[in-house]
Structure 1
């Protein structure tokens, strides 16, 4: 039987965007997400989607699958839940949680809310938390007007082409933080092997993720800082860890145009000052 995780893990991921739209905002014409002070953002939901896709490609069973990547022939979350014999009609919430966590990696990692027909629901809190990614400097957004054929019905005197917009960022570096909570890992059965799978998925986060908005090679993981502590609470607080390791441009650089503009030495040195049992720094 696999060992349930018994020590806290914190991590920081740094990635670059070159000529792509890393996460469009559907309420703002699909422009890249941006804070009020001009910094770029990628939502935690988008990051978890990419993690789920990578974990699925690594052979893990995933509950919340993208429709175009579904590997079980099921077209809804309800159908996927009902496909498990022990879950269909299950009224015991504890048993439901246990079986769901055993069945799907993303449920025991990120948690999930299972809604039932009569208005009740079963909630699972996952141990893996992911924060929103933010660029280290303000971003400049390029806009391009395009034509797209979208009319599905014939209309006299109407062109089949309509105008649209496409957005991209020339270059930016983003970072996000995350943690794995041991107390919640014990409840969902999240194991050390599961943590290793998350670690590997973070390193290859953008593999097979290309699209028209994110061309192949336009998004790249530059660093993964992975701290494993000696105990459940951790040797240092997450706030101190994340605050200590600051990803910033080299002195005198106002606009980051490549990885050479980043002060990696300072960040790596700061990461090594954290008191922990193990530190892994992945550099692509």
Structure 2
């Protein structure tokens, strides 16, 4: 059954990098992003969303039997956003009266959310082109899925590596024996990012349970098809999904649904139950084996109305979407 997501999810994601650059900073010569006060590495929320979008585009799921489930990606390499938005406005408002600007904007927003997976998941600014959307409450879509920046657990020490090549780019450099270049890498770091899924916003964009299943698959596989010389070894190490299901007796269905939608416990306290520390005798990490990751939550002490899904433990055969 495919329905609108009705339960709040608070998600902690652990991922690491070995000899790579997880997220280069264009303001610092593409060096790995770093927080200057603590020297901890950071990865932007935009970077993580990019991995999800790329996976969905590569997977290219078949359109659901539900006509309200399209899986195109709006924000992708080479896309002209206004062209896609204007196309959506034209498709959605054909035959509508000229004076119904608000209704046109609403119809266009719903059409775009239906067709583009990343709009109904992450939201988008739709008021960048056609006048129909400008100044409208429907011109900005707030998506139900939102990431924080990822941050490493310990300070990182980025390295600048000089590399050489035997070929040259320009004719005038043909007499040179070789040319030089540079790479920036992090020897090793373990990062944590948080993700929140809000049912009230899912209702507005049409984010469904099928979309949610696809999101979790993309989250667990987001580095699998993103390999490059800079990101050869990036691995998702943990996905701790705290789902709010309600704490009331089944007879009190209305209150149970309300609690599941709004949440039964503070997210930051749930995340504090996932404890990450270095193994005894280690002063800095060199690999994931140097870390101890422990979930202190059990069925007995987990707050009432909350269920913990350790989605990194799910075998591949449980995935519902395949290439």
Same fold, TM exceeding 0.5? yes
- Bigger CA drift: 111-120 or 5-14? 111-120
Q: Is it true that 1:120 corresponds to 2:105 in the alignment?
A: no
**Aligned-residue RMSD, C-alpha:** 2.6
Question: Which residues in structure 2 correspond to 1:1-284 (within 5 Å)?
Answer: 2-36=2-36, 37-58=38-59, 59=61, 60-67=71-78, 75-84=79-88, 85-87=90-92, 91=101, 92-114=104-126, 115-117=128-130, 120=134, 122-147=139-164, 151=169, 163-215=180-232, 218-230=233-245, 231-264=260-293, 267-270=294-297, 273-275=301-303, 276-283=305-312
TM-score by length of 1: 0.86
Instruction: Give, in angstroms, the shift of residue 83 of structure 1.
Output: 4.1
Distance 2:229 2:86 in 1: 35
**Cα 1:160–1:65 shift into 2, 3 Å:** farther
1:87-115 CA-to-partner distances (Å, cap 9, x unmatched) read 58895221111111111111001000121
Q: Which residue of 2 aligns with 1:72?
A: none
The alignment's TM-score, normalised by the length of structure 2, stands at 0.76
Whole-angstrom distance in 2 between the partners of 1:271 and 1:203: 23
Structure 2 CA distance for aligned equivalents of residues 82 and 222 of structure 1: 41
Larger mean Cα displacement after TM superposition, 92-101 or 129-138: 92-101
The CA deviation at 1:150 is: 7.3
Greater mean deviation of Cα atoms: 9-18 or 254-263: 254-263
SS in 2 for 1:263: strand
Range 140-149 or range 182-191, more displaced: 140-149
What is the distance in 2 between the residues matched to 1:160 and 1:102?
Answer: 56
Q: What is the CA-CA distance between 1:237 and the residue it aligns to?
A: 1.3
5+ unaligned residues in a row in structure 1: which ranges?
Answer: 68-74
SS of residue paired to 1:56 = helix
Contact 2:265 2:306 in 1 (8 A): no
Q: Is the 8 A contact 1:33 1:40 kept in 2?
A: yes
Quote how far apart the aligned CAs of 1:278 are: 2.7
Provide the C-alpha distance between the structure 1 equivalents of 2:27 and 2:177, rounded to a whole number of angstroms. Answer: 25
String of CA shifts for 1:171-197, please: whole Å, max 9, x gaps.
111111111011111111111221111
Distance 1:108 1:150, change over 3 A: farther
Measured after TM superposition, the shift of residue 19 of structure 1 is 0.8
